[in-house]
Chains A and B, each alone.
Chain A
Amino acid sequence: MGNPIDINYTLVAQVLSFLALVWVVSKFAWTPLMNVMEQRRQGIEDTLAQATKERQQAEQIKREYQEEMKKARQEAQALISKAMKVGEERAAEILAGAHEEAEKLKVSALADIQRERDQAIADVKAQVADLSVAVAEKLIQQKLDYVGQEQLIEQFIQEVGEM
């Protein structure tokens, strides 16, 4: 075994061998491998960005839905309260109308009654006058028939009672 530190043309051969190795491995291994790793990195980045975007969209949609639901609920509430108000108003109106009608009916009924009574009284008065005349006639017809007086009075009273 000679001197281990013996520099000769092996040095040149090693430089060339190593450069050839670098070239071959870079061309056929490192470059494709790094491309693949870069692709994967890009893919993961894209997926993450996509996921973030989709989540934002989902949140946006959720917010819109909530907004819409709130609005719908408010509208429904408004509708219900409006309907209730209308109903109450309508009920009050009907009630008021009914009261008025009843009042009117009552007034007209009272007026009718009054009129009937007046009529009746007038009729009675007329009849009494007629009867009085009739009694007077009968009295005059039987003026001398003293005996028949009591009978006459009885008859008159009966006639009045029948009226």
Chain B
Amino acid sequence: MHEETVYWYLGNMTFNARTLVMTWIAIALMLLFVFLGVRRLTSGKPGKMQNILEWVVDFVGKLISDNMDLDKARPLFGYLLTLIMFIFFSNMLGLLPNITFNAFEYFHVETAHLNKIFEGDSMMSPTADINTTLALAILTIIIVIVMGIKHKGIHYFHHFIEPYPVFLPIHAIDMLSKPMTLAFRLFGNIFAGEVLIKVILMLPGIWVLPGIIPDTIWLGFSVFVGAIQSFVFTVLTTAYVAQAVSESH
């Protein structure tokens, strides 16, 4: 366990290299999955992959229509679908073993620190980096404000001083806490899950029962946690938007 944060530098900008590479892998896997689903689109009898995608669309559509008017959320539908699937794929990526089998290290490929990025026992979830979750949370709050202004105009800001102007600080904290809780909840869950995987792998006797059984159990539970967290993030985004566009306050 000597993994250290790998940085890429561009000008005076610093990037977490592992996070970026893992994000691109997650995106690539998700694109592969999605494009397999829409490869042979038909309004007749859908294939297996199309069926799965249609199930996801129905699931998210139901989730939205439970919270708000589906027509108001129409421009957000694609965003929310992408969001839930991206977070799910990201969460699952950290549960995969290191699929490069340390090949970069073995062949001394040091381009862009690839050998350091792919060291360790398992892959990493992009969502185990606060930068990723905070990025998604900030997008959520931007969408909330944009949708609020779009549907209520300048009156949207009126709710910050309701019922009295002295409530402005409370509303401001509410507005700040929304993206923060979103970001830290997802980050905390996934990061903790990965830490625990590493801890379990450090148990003595990894090749006999003490390591394998807890690892199996924890991986199974992490699949569950990852799915739940992607769901929670999407539901809360929907709920915040619904709150912003709803008529009465």
Contacts and interface: CB of A to CB of B under 8 A. Distances in A.
Given A4-B130, A9-B14, A22 B57 contact: no
A4 B184 CA distance: 12
Given A14-B23, A15-B139, A18-B86, A8 B54 contact: no
A158 interface: no
B144 interface: no
Contact of A39 (B30, B43, B79): B43
A15 B137 CA distance: 10
Contact of B27 (A4, A21, A28, A33): A21
B215 interface: no
Interface string A36-53: 110110010000000000
A156 to B, nearest CB: 134
A10 interface: yes
A11 to B, nearest CB: 4
A33 B5 contact: no
A29 B139 contact: no
Contact of B134 (A11, A30, A40): A11
Interface residues of A, number: 34
A24 B85 CA distance: 14
Interface in B132-163: 132, 134-136, 138-139
A10 B43 contact: no
A6 B42 CA distance: 46
B15 A10 contact: yes
A34 B57 contact: yes
B43 A5 contact: no
A72 interface: no
For A22, A29, A32, A40, which residue has the most chain B Cβ atoms within 10 angstroms? Answer: A29
A9 B23 contact: no
A31 interface: yes
B240 interface: no
A140 interface: no
B223 interface: no
Contacts of B41: 32-33, 36
Interface string B53-67: 110010000000000
Interface string B32-76: 001101100111100000100110010000000000000000000
What is the interface of chain B mostly: helix, strand, loop, or mixed?
helix
Nearest to B33: A29
Contact of B24 (A15, A17, A25, A34): A17
A33 B54 contact: yes
Chain B, interface size category, equals: 35 or more
A2 B14 CA distance: 14
Contact of A22 (B4, B37, B78, B126): B78
Contacts of B83: 22
B5 to A, nearest CB: 5
Contacts of B35: 28-29
Given A21-B82, A34-B77, A14 B132 contact: yes
Contacts of B77: 30, 34
Contacts of B189: none
B131 interface: yes
Contacts of B23: 14, 17
B13 interface: yes
B31 A25 contact: yes
18 contacts: A4-B191, A6-B130, A7-B131, A10-B19, A10-B131, A13-B15, A17-B24, A18-B136, A21-B86, A22-B79, A29-B38, A32-B41, A33-B50, A33-B53, A33-B57, A36-B41, A36-B42, A37-B57
Given A4-B129, A7-B131, 5 more contacts: A18-B139, A21-B27, A26-B78, A29-B38, A39-B43
